[in-house]
């Protein structure tokens, strides 16, 4: 990817971080830490990898994006706004009664979503169904699904993984936002995932690793993945929960506790 | 009087109906969880192997894969045993199918005690309660093969998630196959009567009719109504019945908590309170045994229905 394009995408990432902090502060809630850790993943997908037309959200050949880690809704809403699905001003309605931007994405509320999510494990399973339809109909679309690492504790994730390999869904790409933290503590302490790469490989997936905050690296991984022809692909992206705002990075106390006004201003200043 | 020797497996009618639908509509797809030999989705599997997906012993995945297919323009029919489909995958049904109002048709078989020998872990006595409490779900218990066929056709032609409950046991042939129209808002009267209204459905129709004929000998005129569609329930039909006879008994192959009886009681208590007795499984698990023995031991036989009717008759 050309350096000027990388710069441009990094600027969008910065904007997204501001969007996420502002909208969750306005809402008085929301999973900003989990949203901040997947910003570069979303920017690189939406602005350089996915084939879609914002003016034709039901195009049957569009690439699909499923947010299986549904609590990162603020990040998804921010990238959808920046992509032109709805005005950026609407982001301040997050979690408000009647809003299209529900706490976790709800399909019928917001055009552009592929499915509701929030109950962990269900997004990837639904994504398997969407990919299966694509194969059955011989359509060229790809299905990208973003999971959390804590989410991989759900058995349903592994049912979905097993089925994806069984049905040879080479049109399915799962990205795992591996920020190593969950609500109650580090994933390793709460319910260790063990060797996550080995697990996905054992389930029949091709596994690539990425630096989840390096757009150039993500871009080259997307290039690598195109060489893999016959398997579903898992991209394990190493990330930092709360990335972009140093005083909240990796900090368990901030999972959903809203930032104070002072903290918010501090954070926004650091993002300038 | 109905001929008690004429009965058939609704599951077979289900399998046949799927094949007929599959011929006419390429978007029909069928999913199962390693039980297609029992649920009879195997018929569709043999006819249209490219549109049949066995998801293996993974019911949660079964439901969400069906959701993904529905989101991509397919019309999925999903089958497994009721306890596993409705129980294990309840949250997937609720949080994906119902929340997104997806047109996925859950046709779960082997519901109720009549599953027989496999015993308690496999006998679903809670599925109606579990499904009807979910917003947007439609809940239908077809009476027999003819009604099953029409309900399956209706399901393919209408939107929203549906739960259709079938049993393992043969059901009495009530309606004529290919000569019956299913109307979700209208409950067919199977036997006319003036003293008491008995609401029932599915497997319990046979026991209810037996009770009806026994009650005739005691000069009690019992009306037997096929309450096939528990959700959305026809409030008007239930109130009209209560007005006509003033007495109600409900009969279901399900717990008395949360199923048909509860649904009818909810309507009557709010709109037209009348003496009511519920026949069903009294908040306990089933167990292995022959079906008729299970019905007798757990209070679901025609004898129990007659007893309940006599008790209600005393109340006015």
Q: What is the pLDDT of residues A31-40, one digit of tens each?
A: 999 999 999 9
Q: Which of A119, A121, A126 sits opposite B68 (nearest CB)?
A: A126
**Model confidence over B40-71: pLDDT tens digits?**
999 999 999 999 999 999 999 999 999 999 99
Q: Which of A121, A133, A156 sits opposite B68 (nearest CB)?
A: A133
List B59, B126, B150, B253, catalytic entry: B59
Q: Which residues pair with B140 in a beta bridge?
A: B164, B229
Token pair for residue B48? 């249209």
Kindly identify which residue of chain A lies nearest to residue B49, measuring between CA atoms: A136
Q: Which of B60, B66, B96 sits opposite A115 (nearest CB)?
A: B96
Which residues of chain A fall short of a pLDDT of 50?
none
Q: Residue B298 in contact with residue B254, Cβ under 8 Å?
A: no
ipTM of model: 0.95
C-alpha B191/C-alpha B2 separation (Å) is 9
Letter string b/e over residues A128-166, b meaning 16 or more CB atoms within 10 A of that residue's CB: bbbbbbbebeeeebbbbbbbbbbbbbbebbbbbbbbbbe
B191 is catalytic: no
Numbered residues of chain A with Cβ closer than 8 Å to any chain B Cβ: 60, 106-108, 114-116, 118-119, 121-122, 125-134, 136-137, 155-156, 159-160, 162-163, 166-167
Write down the pLDDT at residue B55. 98
pLDDT tier at B316, thresholds 50, 70, 90: low
Kindly identify which residue of chain A lies nearest to residue B28, measuring between CA atoms: A133
Q: How far is CA B62 from CA A133, A194, B47, B136, B266, in A?
A: 14, 27, 21, 20, 33
User: The pTM is what?
Assistant: 0.96
Confidence check: pLDDT of B224 > 70: yes
Q: Residue B265 in contact with residue B276, Cβ under 8 Å?
A: yes
């Amino acid at each position: 990817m050309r350096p000027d394009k990388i710069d441009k995408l990094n600027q969008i990432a910065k904007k997204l971080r501001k969007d996420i902090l502002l909208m969750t502060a306005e809402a008085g809630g929301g999973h900003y830490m989990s949203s901040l850790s997947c910003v570069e993943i979303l920017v690189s997908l939406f602005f350089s990898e996915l084939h879609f037309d914002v003016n034709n959200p039901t195009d049957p050949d569009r690439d699909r994006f499923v947010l299986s880690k549904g609590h990162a809704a603020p990040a998804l809403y921010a990238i959808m706004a920046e992509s032109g699905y709805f005005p950026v001003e609407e982001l301040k309605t997050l979690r408000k009664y009647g809003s299209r931007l529900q706490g976790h994405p709800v399909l019928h509320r917001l055009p552009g979503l592929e499915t509701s999510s929030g109950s962990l494990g269900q997004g990837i399973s639904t994504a398997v169904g969407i990919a299966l339809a694509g194969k059955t109909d011989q359509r060229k679309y790809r299905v990208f699904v973003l999971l959390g690492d804590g989410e991989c504790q759900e058995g349903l994730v592994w049912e979905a993984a097993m089925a994806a390999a069984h049905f040879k869904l080479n049109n399915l790409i799962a990205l795992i936002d591996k920020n190593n933290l969950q609500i109650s503590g580090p994933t390793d302490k709460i319910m260790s995932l063990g060797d996550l790469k080995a697990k996905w490989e054992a389930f029949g997936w091709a596994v690539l690793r990425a630096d989840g905050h390096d757009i150039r690296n993500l871009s080259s991984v997307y290039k690598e993945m195109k060489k893999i022809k016959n398997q579903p692909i898992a991209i394990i992206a190493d990330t930092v929960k709360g990335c972009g705002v140093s005083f909240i990075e990796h900090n368990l106390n901030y999972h959903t506790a809203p930032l104070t006004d002072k903290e918010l201003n501090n954070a926004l200043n650091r993002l300038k | 009087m109905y001929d008690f020797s004429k009965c058939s497996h609704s599951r077979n009618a289900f399998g046949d109906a799927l094949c007929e639908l599959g011929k006419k509509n390429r978007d029909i797809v069928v999913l199962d969880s390693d039980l297609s030999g029992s649920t009879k989705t195997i018929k569709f599997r043999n006819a249209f192997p490219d549109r049949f997906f066995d998801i293996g012993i993974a019911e949660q995945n079964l439901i969400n894969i069906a959701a993904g297919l529905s989101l991509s323009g397919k019309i999925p029919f999903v089958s497994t045993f009721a306890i596993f489909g409705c129980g294990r995958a309840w949250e997937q049904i609720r949080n994906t199918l119902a929340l997104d109002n997806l047109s996925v048709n859950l046709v779960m078989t082997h519901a109720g005690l009549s599953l027989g020998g496999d015993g308690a872990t496999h006998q679903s006595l809670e599925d109606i309660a579990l499904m009807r409490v979910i917003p947007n779900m439609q809940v239908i218990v077809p009476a027999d093969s003819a009604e099953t066929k029409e309900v399956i056709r209706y399901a393919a032609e209408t939107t929203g998630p549906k739960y259709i409950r079938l049993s393992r046991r043969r059901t009495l042939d009530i309606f004529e196959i290919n000569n019956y129209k299913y109307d979700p808002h209208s409950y067919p009267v199977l036997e006319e009567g003036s003293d008491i209204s008995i609401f029932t459905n599915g497997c319990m129709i046979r026991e209810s009719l037996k009770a009806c004929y026994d009650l005739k000998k005691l000069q009690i005129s019992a009306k037997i109504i096929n309450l096939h569609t528990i959700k959305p329930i026809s409030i008007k039909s239930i109130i009209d019945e209560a007005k006509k006879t003033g007495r109600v008994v409900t009969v279901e192959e399900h717990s008395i908590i949360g199923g048909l009886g509860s649904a009818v009681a909810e309507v009557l208590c709010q709109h037209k309170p009348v003496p009511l007795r519920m026949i069903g499984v009294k908040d306990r698990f089933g167990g292995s045994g022959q079906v008729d023995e299970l019905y007798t031991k757990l209070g679901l036989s025609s004898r129990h229905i007659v007893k309940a009717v006599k008790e209600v008759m005393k109340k006015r």
